Structure 1
Amino acid sequence: MIAALLVAALAAGWVDAVVGGGGLLLLPALLVVAPQLGTATALGTNKLAAICGTSTAALAYARRTTIDWTVAGPSAGLALLCAGAGALLAGSVPAAAYRPVIIAVLVAVAVFVTVRPQMGLVEHPHKRTPRRRGVVVAVAGVAIALYDGLIGPGTGTFLVLAFTAVVGADFVHGSAMAKIVNTATNLGALVVFAATGHVAWLLGAAMAAANIVGALIGARMALRRGAGFVRIVLLVVVLTLIARLGYLHATSAQ
């Protein structure tokens, strides 16, 4: 069980650092491999591993690329509070509800990225108007952060898409800002889960170490290979997960 979760944490760290969405690997792994934890503890343990990976990736991006703090800073501040609010409600969502929600979200992401092939390949600074900055801060710092605390998987991907679609960042710079905000959402949710006793600390610490290794590898690859590489990884990961979760959902319904 532990070996399987460590492999999942390593892969999730890599995916999270490149394009976000590592929780789409790690949370289902926890729910399937360690169902005895329960939904809330699986969410809390996932946050412990994820915050280590996202903060590591955020530092790697900050050292080697420019981060627009006028967008990332306010988004992260709001996200810290709103993710905590979402985490307070997390226990009310049954585990059975996660799979169809995640599948629907993944399909929406795949369609959005496919129909806009040029999105995120180059930066569009003219889109960074005060109005658009306000919109993306509200979307990233409130709506997506609440989702992260409540459910979680796909948060990093949604953040990348918000920063590319709304304020014209390319995928690399969008990923950099997403890591800053995702670190805040993970921290806000983790504080609540820890306070309510829903973190498996030893298991989470082991997964965190694997997640950090994956995050370092992923961040360096994304920075070296650029926005086109990130877009390809995004589509491959999303389509693979849709197929896998769709199969599991279909077989469980029979």
Structure 2
Amino acid sequence: MGDITVSSPMLLFLICMTGFAGVVDSAAGGGGLISLPAYLFAGLPVHYTYGTNKFSAACGTTFATAKFFRGGAVDLQVGLLAAAGSFVGSAAGSHLAVWLSDGVLRLMMLCILPVAAVVILTQWKRPDRDCGDCPLTRARIAQALAIGVGIGCYDGLFGPGTGTFAIIAFSTLMGYDMRRASGNAKLLNLASNYASLVTYLASGLVVFHIAIPCAISGIVGNLIGSRLALRGGAKVIRPMMLVVLVLLLGRLTAQAAGLA
């Protein structure tokens, strides 16, 4: 870890990119689509890229979650249930990833992403609704746990766009408006981030002299993005989610074509 260094201009580049990633991630998820390529461009080995990125992402998500909670945009009961499920799902996804090839995973995502984009587009003109005050029935408990396990499994299995898919799930399956769906997604993502971070820390895969300044930048970005999402609601979140899905689809298509 001590042998991995970057130049001052490159560190400044990483700080800027992780800050921008924080803005996107806190509002719509998918910040890793920006930060991960930036770390790789800076020359970090792949495993250190994931570990260092997870450190800065976890720090930023912590502050974003707190911001959404203070803004009244988190259903704490449902969010905690989903967070618990994400721990289980993330572990299962990590084990499943060992058995599936990269090609299979990418093919799965190439099928999933257009469907997710269609869901967002079909809901574009739908009035923003909110089920934040709905009673916590057994059915909703089961839904929250299922979302947590499913999204957590995706996070452990593949990763990019986890927050975006969590927002879609809370909005379409449980009837939350975009603000509260995003807030619940933050709590779920926070759990999966720290679960993964423990593994990276134990393996010594976090480059702290890069991760710490990037984490500070990510925190600032997350606070800015959270503020935008809380004020703008669906008008801000839906377009950003669609952009994230397009970026992810483009990345996967390029990888399938051997261009990335």
For Structure 1 versus Structure 2, the TM-score category normalised by the shorter chain is 0.7 to 0.9
Which has the larger Rg? 2
Cα deviation for residue 25 of structure 1 reads 1.8
Cα deviation for residue 248 of structure 1 reads 6.5
Cα 1:24/1:139, change in 2 over 3 Å: farther
Q: What per-residue deviation string (whole Å, max 9, x for no partner) do you get for residues 55-78 of structure 1?
A: 111111111124222211111123
Partner of 1:175: 182
Cα distance in 1 for residues equivalent to 2:222 and 2:42: 22
Structure number having the greater helix percentage: 1
Cα 1:144/1:195, change in 2 over 3 Å: same
Cα deviation for residue 227 of structure 1 reads 1.8
Cα distance in 1 for residues equivalent to 2:150 and 2:251: 27
Residue 70 in 1 paired to residue 77 in 2?
A: yes
Retained in 2: the 8 A contact 1:83–1:150? yes
Residue correspondence of structure 1 range 76-225 to structure 2 within 5 A = 76-84=83-91, 86-87=93-94, 104-118=111-125, 121-124=128-131, 130-225=137-232
Cα deviation for residue 220 of structure 1 reads 0.6
Query: Aligned pair count?
Result: 251
Retained in 2: the 8 A contact 1:81–1:188? no
More deviation, 69-78/13-22: 69-78
More deviation, 164-173/44-53: 44-53
TM-score computed with the length of structure 2 as normaliser: 0.82
Q: What per-residue deviation string (whole Å, max 9, x for no partner) do you get for residues 194-246 of structure 1?
A: 11222222222222111111101101111112222211222233334534664
Retained in 2: the 8 A contact 1:124–1:169? yes
Retained in 1: the 8 A contact 2:51–2:197? yes
Cα distance in 2 for residues equivalent to 1:231 and 1:46: 25
Q: What residue ranges of structure 1 are gaps of 5+ in the alignment?
A: none
Residue 21 in 1 paired to residue 11 in 2?
A: no
Letter in 1 for 2:23: W
TM-score computed with the length of structure 1 as normaliser: 0.83
Partner of 1:52: 59
Cα 1:167/1:139, change in 2 over 3 Å: same
Cα distance in 2 for residues equivalent to 1:43 and 1:92: 20
Q: What residue ranges of structure 2 are gaps of 5+ in the alignment?
A: 1-9
Cα deviation for residue 53 of structure 1 reads 1.1
Cα distance in 1 for residues equivalent to 2:157 and 2:95: 8
Partner of 2:4: none
SS at match of 2:259: helix
Cα deviation for residue 88 of structure 1 reads 6.2
Q: What per-residue deviation string (whole Å, max 9, x for no partner) do you get for residues 84-143 of structure 1?
A: 454567678888887666655443321221123345722246976635423432333212
Q: What per-residue deviation string (whole Å, max 9, x for no partner) do you get for residues 153-205 of structure 1?
A: 11101111111111100110101111111111100011112112222222222
Retained in 2: the 8 A contact 1:67–1:173? yes
- The percentage of aligned residue pairs carrying the same residue is 35
